[in-house]
Structure 1
């Protein structure tokens, strides 16, 4: 028997060796041959994959293998010491989850862990990591198993019988989703999630995707600290961390969806048209060329159709090169040179091709112009061909302020006035006109839905006064009846003097109060701020919330979050009974509304720079500026605090954000 086994092993060895030799001699597709020539000592692993599927005598599966190998040139992992040093982060996170610790979006516990690691190893940086090409390291077994598992799903799952070969290769087959280190994930994620789905859900692709998204939402979440981790996570790392940046969540959910037979694309806006950051999400490739876009692990399922942000450019991640980059691209910033992204902007918003004439720079010596949006500074969104002094930009999203610029290999040079591309496809240039107007501003950055959500929890909350520490027989000074969009000054109708004052959250609501100031008047009738001993409840562990002492720390950027379903309040013992004439309070917010006592400066864009129009210390929640040119693009800066600021125009007596 032993001799027979040895004999069979010998013939199997000869077969594999012979197959590899035949494979190397056979004419492979050009792209595959190129990868084999680059793969060095790992060439035999790639040849084993080709030999395996040639021996299986399934031309379509061989074509699949060719697809993966032929498109491997841009596939790589970030590896090395700078990556491995932070692996302990996932071990610590896993330990915290095992102990059922509460980890908030801005968890102090995670901040402490991160600070400890960066103190030891320094800040992790992509440029310091080793880029290891897949063709130099990937193993035959890994590729073969991935192909077999994905191909089986495609051919045996009736829910995706509509999927074309090309879409299968792009949106179900890929063995990786980013630059994570390679590890098996497909079979494990299939088994784990199929156990959590009932038969009815499994029979409907949309409902299955929706249910998977719910399961993920209950187990993984965004975290500000992990947002600093610059590397893509493996599936195992995400399962340990259960926390990550937007892209981490998207990558993991893409693996889960593909493992369970749901073809998904990864779409992104590198930069929103009216915001200084970008976003990633997932899109299901459905039957009849339909798609459904949704945010990873978020509620509700979908969300892209209600985003408050505008789409300038949207790209879809691809495995195959799109062959759209020009041969000459020295006049295009590297940040927008990626041939493995497909322009799908028109799937999300109305788009137009536009021709823009340069008027502040000559196009001589340039072949391309760059179209930019504002994100604290002008940032490149796309490039366009230049004919003389006219630039053509294709598929540009509407309701966005753009500027055409030239790139000299080092910096962007303004070449036109800023302009709005309207929903009708018309262009409105923004430049200071001779006509002047007076303006009133109350924010330096547009209000957000998160601000409104946090401030809404103040509804029904009361400011109470009393002369006993237990607030027995307390009098209501003021009840919050409208959602505060900024800080507020309130004056109560009560007469008399009181020693104790507090804010009491409505039962069942989080406190979300950032700051509270109490004022009286002296004998000269001057308004003065009162001090006292800080009181409040409950005491909140730093791991799960923020304490009531933040309400009196003088910083409107800190806040008392409180805990739902508990009596939550923050107040002062003034030491003796005082006449209370005013309360100033701040909701939990981004503090981008105007704050009394802060110094603000107004700027307008003219030709190629921001020109100052006036500076003032505000005394109220608004600021007025006189003799401001009509049709100017404006920017308001707070010199006292904060970095967020957003461009706006002043139309019909109000700020219009772009």
Structure 2
């Protein structure tokens, strides 16, 4: 045996010993006792060459299965009833959830058992899923133009998030096949529209609500058939339905919306021409263009959920970081960037040393995170590798939302830039560093009031009328509201002198349902009292929306007349009086400053939020003095309420970002 042969043999032995296990082998090792079940499926599709694609598909599933799991337990089963009740009850989601909580106790995810797919999925389940998925892909004419890669990512998967597993393919196939069996169309969108319309005719118009049991996982497909819940809950059913019939689809999502503290998701679909469509809240399926398709939502990033892991990204983050933020940990790093498809203000963000507090520290890592605000916190929504010159470049950003850059310092984020946003037109970076002058500020809300605009606008055209007969014949008009109110309590002067009146009312403008939360009448600063009168009738015959709600002393209740026109509410006074002032509160989402509530103002700093002071409101506004100019601010209500959002002051006005 010569030396060259010995050397060659030694190289082979060393290479064999140092070769890393394949992704498949690593997954099978993690499966433990369940390895046998998974290998059964691999072996089943290894016997006949005709099954080569099915063998590749099961390997794809197993390689990417690690990190998927579901929950099992009594609490999980009990609280499915909440979503079913949403469909069949006219009560508010909050009332339904309270009833479920009184019956079963509060939902506690910690009492549920976590079931990892690798350790629990059996061969029968996987084989049935693969067979039904292939049948749909190969047999339906509208599915044949999809590639094998698209099939694996967007038709084959048996789950989307951490929902409980079920035999949804078989059930939905049997239920909806009669609607499509005779179709010869090659357009999957046409088929999806038929399926969508059929689902709504069976289950009713979707009922959307953000009210949900705290920490309840993703909704399982069979429960999601009720078409009630959050955007994620509604997407769960529509994805399952479309995939059952071989239509490529998945969930596109915004991790955090600008000016909001939460994200949003919807379902994308792809047709035979490689064009993209979407359905939001299971609404009609429409083509994604520059004017629709969630383009107008404030956002920085849009991602598309995949079944497979982002293997290269995972490897890079593991090599660079000792601790990876939960948003980018291996189990959840399964998405691709589709921001350009939904962006009206697409740009790249380049952060150089002059944009940062200090030069980037490579001793921590070479990874920088782009963060967005959520309540009193910042969440990573994108990451990049820092170049050798210390610059951080983030590709495909939708400009306009509030951001800041951070690095990991152990297990916490260390901010390396002040908050900023990218100007939509000139693409400059506008920073909020809070350095220099001080200013006195007046605050009227703790959250963006854009959602209240419709109710505020319904005040415009409203009339204050006074008369001396209950029918308001020949009534005098004392005031017409011509502007949108901007605060909780708007006072207007309407001096009726020298006339005195027995009857006084607020009459809603045409088309407004007389929506109003509170109305009060004054004579020389004395609040007038008397018998509450008004036009009976309330939306959906809900008595809590009757005219008396506008004079019950609560700004959380409102008059909502059951007709667009003709609603009014007022007082029959005990004696004739002059009317000198009216105080009005529009219908609202309870985000105005409220008297007697306890508030705390926070100011941003390089190290996070710092308290600037705490005070109780004496009216519907708060004044803080000597606040840092050009600072990012946050107002917390310690009394109650959850909606709060970062803001800054521009020309004396709160701007929520």
The alignment's TM-score, normalised by the length of structure 2, stands at 0.80
Q: Deviations over 1:375-397 (max 9, x none)?
A: 22231223443568936253244
Any idea what SS the aligned residue of 1:327 has? helix
Q: Does 1:394 align with 2:387?
A: no
| 1:186 matched residue in structure 2 | 169
Paired residues of 2:509 and 2:565 also in contact (CA < 8 A): no
Separation in 2, partners of 1:514, 1:122: 32
Any idea what SS the aligned residue of 1:123 has? coil
Paired residues of 1:514 and 1:550 also in contact (CA < 8 A): yes
Q: Deviations over 1:163-219 (max 9, x none)?
A: 111111111111122222221222433454455679889664334445555566643
Any idea what SS the aligned residue of 2:517 has? strand
| 1:271 matched residue in structure 2 | 256
Any idea what SS the aligned residue of 1:538 has? coil
| 1:9 matched residue in structure 2 | none
Paired residues of 1:177 and 1:255 also in contact (CA < 8 A): no
Offset at residue 79 of structure 1 (A):
1.1
Q: Does 1:355 align with 2:340?
A: no
| 1:556 matched residue in structure 2 | 555
Separation in 1, partners of 2:639, 2:117: 50
| 1:170 matched residue in structure 2 | 153
Separation in 2, partners of 1:298, 1:321: 30
| 1:586 matched residue in structure 2 | 585
Bigger mean CA offset, 367-376 vs 185-194:
185-194
Q: Does 1:534 align with 2:532?
A: yes
- Pair 42,392 (structure 1): closer, same or farther in 2 beyond 3 Å: same
- Pair 50,332 (structure 1): closer, same or farther in 2 beyond 3 Å: closer
* From 306, 310, 313, the counterpart of 1:318: 306
* From 29, 45, 61, the counterpart of 1:53: 45
- Pair 483,437 (structure 1): closer, same or farther in 2 beyond 3 Å: closer
| 2:385 matched residue in structure 1 | 385
Paired residues of 2:268 and 2:276 also in contact (CA < 8 A): yes
| 2:277 matched residue in structure 1 | 292
Bigger mean CA offset, 349-358 vs 560-569:
560-569
Any idea what SS the aligned residue of 1:561 has? coil
Separation in 1, partners of 2:26, 2:610: 54
Separation in 2, partners of 1:518, 1:235: 54
Separation in 2, partners of 1:649, 1:594: 16
Separation in 1, partners of 2:68, 2:610: 46
* From 216, 224, 227, the counterpart of 1:230: 216
Q: Does 1:409 align with 2:410?
A: yes
| 2:98 matched residue in structure 1 | 112
Within 5 Å, which residues of 2 pair with 1:62-461? 62-89=55-82, 92=85, 97=88, 101-103=89-91, 106-107=92-93, 109-117=95-103, 120-125=104-109, 127-193=110-176, 204-210=187-193, 212-213=195-196, 218-226=204-212, 228=214, 230-239=216-225, 241-287=226-272, 289-298=274-283, 301=286, 305=293, 309-323=297-311, 324-325=313-314, 326-328=317-319, 329-337=321-329, 338-349=332-343, 350-357=346-353, 358-359=356-357, 363=361, 365-367=363-365, 368-381=367-380, 382-386=382-386, 390=390, 392-395=392-395, 396-423=397-424, 424-434=426-436, 443-448=445-450, 450-458=451-459, 461=462
| 1:574 matched residue in structure 2 | 573
Separation in 2, partners of 1:201, 1:475: 68
Paired residues of 1:172 and 1:262 also in contact (CA < 8 A): yes
Any idea what SS the aligned residue of 1:226 has? coil
Any idea what SS the aligned residue of 1:354 has? strand
- Pair 38,438 (structure 1): closer, same or farther in 2 beyond 3 Å: closer
Offset at residue 85 of structure 1 (A):
3.4
| 1:520 matched residue in structure 2 | 523
Separation in 2, partners of 1:186, 1:295: 22
Bigger mean CA offset, 317-326 vs 42-51:
42-51
Paired residues of 2:323 and 2:411 also in contact (CA < 8 A): no
Offset at residue 264 of structure 1 (A):
1.0
Offset at residue 248 of structure 1 (A):
0.8
Paired residues of 1:172 and 1:261 also in contact (CA < 8 A): yes
| 1:503 matched residue in structure 2 | 506
Separation in 2, partners of 1:538, 1:91: 30
Q: Deviations over 1:527-574 (max 9, x none)?
A: 122233434423678978644443223332332334346864433333
Any idea what SS the aligned residue of 1:144 has? helix
Paired residues of 1:332 and 1:383 also in contact (CA < 8 A): no
The alignment's TM-score, normalised by the length of structure 1, stands at 0.80
Separation in 2, partners of 1:36, 1:373: 38
Separation in 1, partners of 2:190, 2:282: 15
- Pair 289,299 (structure 1): closer, same or farther in 2 beyond 3 Å: closer
Separation in 1, partners of 2:132, 2:177: 15
Any idea what SS the aligned residue of 1:513 has? coil
Q: Deviations over 1:23-51 (max 9, x none)?
A: xxxxxx94444444444554454344334
Q: Deviations over 1:503-526 (max 9, x none)?
A: 3445765343212122111xxxxx
Offset at residue 249 of structure 1 (A):
1.0
Offset at residue 274 of structure 1 (A):
3.4
Separation in 2, partners of 1:578, 1:317: 66
Separation in 2, partners of 1:146, 1:204: 24
Offset at residue 334 of structure 1 (A):
2.4
Separation in 1, partners of 2:529, 2:500: 15
- Pair 520,493 (structure 1): closer, same or farther in 2 beyond 3 Å: closer
Q: Deviations over 1:264-284 (max 9, x none)?
A: 121222222432111121112
Paired residues of 1:596 and 1:620 also in contact (CA < 8 A): yes
| 2:10 matched residue in structure 1 | none
- Pair 600,474 (structure 1): closer, same or farther in 2 beyond 3 Å: farther
Any idea what SS the aligned residue of 2:146 has? coil
| 2:8 matched residue in structure 1 | none
Any idea what SS the aligned residue of 1:390 has? coil
Separation in 2, partners of 1:564, 1:208: 39
Separation in 1, partners of 2:371, 2:41: 45
Any idea what SS the aligned residue of 1:372 has? strand
- Pair 543,92 (structure 1): closer, same or farther in 2 beyond 3 Å: farther
Any idea what SS the aligned residue of 1:453 has? helix
Separation in 1, partners of 2:195, 2:494: 51
Separation in 2, partners of 1:618, 1:121: 35
Q: Which runs of 5+ in 2 are unaligned?
A: 1-20
